[in-house]
Amino acid sequence: MAVVVETTIGDFTVDLYTEERPQTCRNFLKLCKIKYYNWNLFHSVQSNFIAQTGDPTGTGKGGESVYGIVLGEKARYYEAEQMPKIKHNRSGLLSMVNCGNSMLGSQFFITLAPELQSLDGEHCVFGEITEGLEIILKFNETICDGDHRPYQDIRISHTVILEDPFEDPKGFVIPDQSPPPTKEALMSDRIGADEVIDDTAGMTAEEIIEMQKEKEAKARATILEIVGDIPDAEMAPPENVLFVCKLNPVTTDDDLEIIFSRFGKIAGCEVIRDRQSGDSLQYAFIEFADRKSCEEAYFKMDNVLIDDRRVHVDFSQSVAKMRWRGKGKGIQYFDDNGDETCNENREKSSLRYKKRDECKVNDDTRSQRENDKRYREEILEHRKHERRKEINRGNSEYSHDGEKYKEEKYRDNSRERYEHEFRRRKEKKRRSRDRSRDREQNKRESHKESKRKKKYDSEKRRRDRNSSSISSEDSKHERHSNHKKKYTRDRSMERYEKFEKHKQKRR
């Protein structure tokens, strides 16, 4: 037995367990027959759990069975059927809500996920959705408030009974037409079921594009949070750290610190290197003491030449050393060793170390540091000068690039030589194969020709022997016939010889 349930988000077909749950199926069919479920609200939708309806008041406290409608308030509920046991083991099952002490009324729910063992033994399963299972996905995507009520109303608009095997109870009145929606349904404080939601109403094209970009960014951040790349989707990277890439492999931490220190105090500068080989990966992170210095460096150092390489500068998007404590608890930081620190402790420790260094350093060490900086700058200038010399001599931009070009050119030449040798050997094999095939063919033809000549000679000798034994009278006739045969054989022999000569000429 089947019933088609039409809702505001789509239609689905229910197949009832009339043999296992006859009383519950009779109650459900008769309620559908009097259009009791029309305009009923799905007042509770819990994603990946259940979607509950069947209460005309929409509060989850109302509803009554068909026996209560026919017999009165005393028969408002009826006792649930316990046997046979049917488990809530898959999505799309329909189950009556237990109103207490295993008593059932009109409310039922749809399972939105498999293996809901917590509902077994308490609620009564009486049917399943056989067509329109995609409605379950729409229920799972519904946005609800804290009480699990959807912000946009979802209602049963109509029910159609395909077959009813049960008799109507006495005093059962069937309405002529479906009842209209109630005033409570029309005066709902939620978004109407047929109301179209337009988030872009009254917005300009630029605002719409900006809103779409924000949604895409949030979606990407949520995906990164799911895969564990970032601690929280709402977490923002530090605003005082710069990311520098396209560096020269010879550029060191000290070189970058000297170059970027003119914009402000640098709390840390690190060129990222390979753990095994120690080679530079050609990108670095520079942490400034304040945000203003970081912004100034970002605007002035992008596309600047450092060690003959034009670097790219951007704000860091890394949150590898940050962990979200929870809502309202802030962020905790982790150092390179994995030890927990907080933002205030980091700033205090950095200031404490700076003061300690300043106390230890005297005038001689300060002058020594200035000399070291000057020495590093001279080294950088010397490197630039050497690079310009190489370019002027007609070499490649970098010496190692020139060596690499030579190696690639040598490999290309060797590959060409190998391919040429391979083609030559292949052609040689083909020619030898053709020659051997021609020799075999010539042998077969010569053998056939020798057999043909032998046969011709034996025939000639036999004719000579026969011509001497015949009588004189018959000899004339025989000679005439033999002469005629000989003439034809001679002609055929001449044609054969001409054909052989023509064949040899073609060769």
Check which CATH number belongs to the domain holding 58 and give it.
Answer: 2.40.100.10
> Would you say residue 471 lies in a domain?
no
pLDDT digits (tens, 9 = 90+) for 314-368: 988 766 655 444 433 344 444 444 444 444 444 444 444 444 455 544 545 555 5
Statement to judge: residues 122 and 48 lie in one domain: yes
Which span out of 186-190, 222-226, 242-246, 423-427 was modeled with the highest average pLDDT?
242-246
In this model, does residue 218 exceed pLDDT 70? yes
Statement to judge: residues 142 and 288 lie in one domain: no
pLDDT digits (tens, 9 = 90+) for 429-461: 888 888 888 888 888 888 888 888 888 888 888
pLDDT digits (tens, 9 = 90+) for 388-408: 666 665 544 444 455 555 556
Check which CATH number belongs to the domain holding 282 and give it.
Answer: 3.30.70.330
> Would you say residue 31 lies in a domain?
yes
The pLDDT value recorded for residue 324 is 41
List 270's β-bridge partners, or say none.
Answer: 285
The pLDDT value recorded for residue 472 is 54
Q: CB–CB of 108/28 below 8 Å?
A: yes
Domain of residue 75 covers 2-186
DSSP 79: E
- β-bridge pairing 280-288 and 330-334: unpaired
pLDDT confidence tier of residue 499, bands split at 50, 70 and 90: confident
The pLDDT value recorded for residue 199 is 66
> Would you say residue 108 lies in a domain?
yes
Statement to judge: residues 156 and 34 lie in one domain: yes
DSSP 299: H
Q: Measured between alpha carbons, how far is 110 from 382 in angstroms, rounded to an integer?
A: 78
Q: In this predicted model, which residue has the larger pLDDT, 418 or 21? A: 21
Of 174-178, 272-276, 317-321, give the lowest mean pLDDT range. 317-321
Residues in the chain: 507
Q: Rounded to the nearest 5 degrees, what angle is found at the Cα of 312, between the Cα atoms of 308 and 314?
A: 155
Statement to judge: residues 182 and 261 lie in one domain: no
Statement to judge: residues 14 and 106 lie in one domain: yes
The maximal CA–CA distance of the chain, rounded, in angstroms, is: 154
Statement to judge: residues 180 and 320 lie in one domain: no
Domain's final residue, options 333, 363, 388: 333
The pLDDT value recorded for residue 366 is 54
> Would you say residue 205 lies in a domain?
no
The pLDDT value recorded for residue 327 is 37
DSSP 111-171: E-SS--GGGTTTSEEEEEEEE-THHHHHHHT--B-TTS-BSB--EEEEEEES---SPPPTT
> Would you say residue 23 lies in a domain?
yes
List 241's β-bridge partners, or say none.
Answer: 287
**Taking phi first (over 0 means left), then psi (-120 to 50 degrees means alpha), and beta for anything else, what does residue 462 get?**
alpha
Domain's final residue, options 147, 171, 186: 186
C-alpha 162, offset from chain centre:
42
Q: CB–CB of 53/43 below 8 Å?
A: yes
Statement to judge: residues 142 and 246 lie in one domain: no
The pLDDT value recorded for residue 338 is 47
Statement to judge: residues 151 and 250 lie in one domain: no
Statement to judge: residues 174 and 297 lie in one domain: no
Residue whose token pair is 């040798």: 421
Statement to judge: residues 60 and 138 lie in one domain: yes
Token code pair at residue 17: 């367990």
Number of H helices and E strands in the chain, helices first, is 11, 19
Q: In this predicted model, which residue has the larger pLDDT, 319 or 290? A: 290
Pick from 357, 234, 246: which is nearest to 307 by CA? 246
Domain's final residue, options 186, 213, 232: 186
Q: What is the mean pLDDT of residues 497-505?
A: 75
pLDDT digits (tens, 9 = 90+) for 189-201: 777 766 666 667 7
Our count of domains for the chain comes to: 2
Q: Measured between alpha carbons, how far is 43 from 57 in angstroms, rounded to an integer?
A: 9
Q: Measured between alpha carbons, how far is 298 from 293 in angstroms, rounded to an integer?
A: 9
- Render the burial of 375-392: b for 16+ CB within 10 Å, e for the rest: ebeeebeeeeeebeeeee
> Would you say residue 265 lies in a domain?
yes
Statement to judge: residues 133 and 45 lie in one domain: yes
In this model, does residue 96 exceed pLDDT 90? yes
> Would you say residue 367 lies in a domain?
no
pTM: 0.44
Statement to judge: residues 181 and 279 lie in one domain: no
> Would you say residue 81 lies in a domain?
yes
The Cβ of residue 296 has, within 10 Å, a number of other Cβ atoms equal to: 14
